[in-house]
Amino acid sequence: ELGPGEVDMLRIGRGMRRVIFVNDERQTETPRLQLGLERREASYLFEVKARRVAEGAVLGLELHPKRRVLEIEGADARQTGRYRVKVVRSTARGNRTARRQVTLRAGQSLEIQYGELLRKRGKRR
């Protein structure tokens, strides 16, 4: 929740495949970013939730559909951050959901092969 005078920013990249959250420099936040992807064979929902992102931190998500990769970028510029990643694949036959906890050091990025994650950790619903 923002207080008087505080500003958080959300930047959307070309093709709507990139989202960047920029936190206000005056307080910590707990952002949850979501991206969706519609394909002929299935729909996907990608969610990354950060816990207590430091003041002025940046959290970026980018989809690379041809490589089936979700990239979590840079995150917190000052400290190690912990993130909960959720991927949901929906088809006419049902949903498959996978969750993973990841840790990123300051300024680090991580690529998650979401097709592989769903095969190894996915649960049908």
pTM across the whole model: 0.81
pLDDT tens across the length of the chain (125 residues): 666 777 778 888 877 788 888 887 777 777 888 999 999 889 999 999 987 777 777 888 999 989 999 998 865 556 677 889 999 999 989 999 999 988 887 778 889 998 887 777 666 66
List CB contacts of 102: < 8 A, sequence separation 6 or more: 72, 82, 83, 85, 110, 112
Number of domains in the chain: 1
Q: Is residue 83 part of a domain?
A: yes
Nearest to 114 by CA among 44, 58, 13: 44
The answer to whether residue 1 is domain-embedded is: no
77 HSE (CA, 13 A, CB side): 8
> For residue 17, is it within any domain?
yes
Task: Write out the residue range of the structural domain in which residue 35 sits.
Answer: 9-124
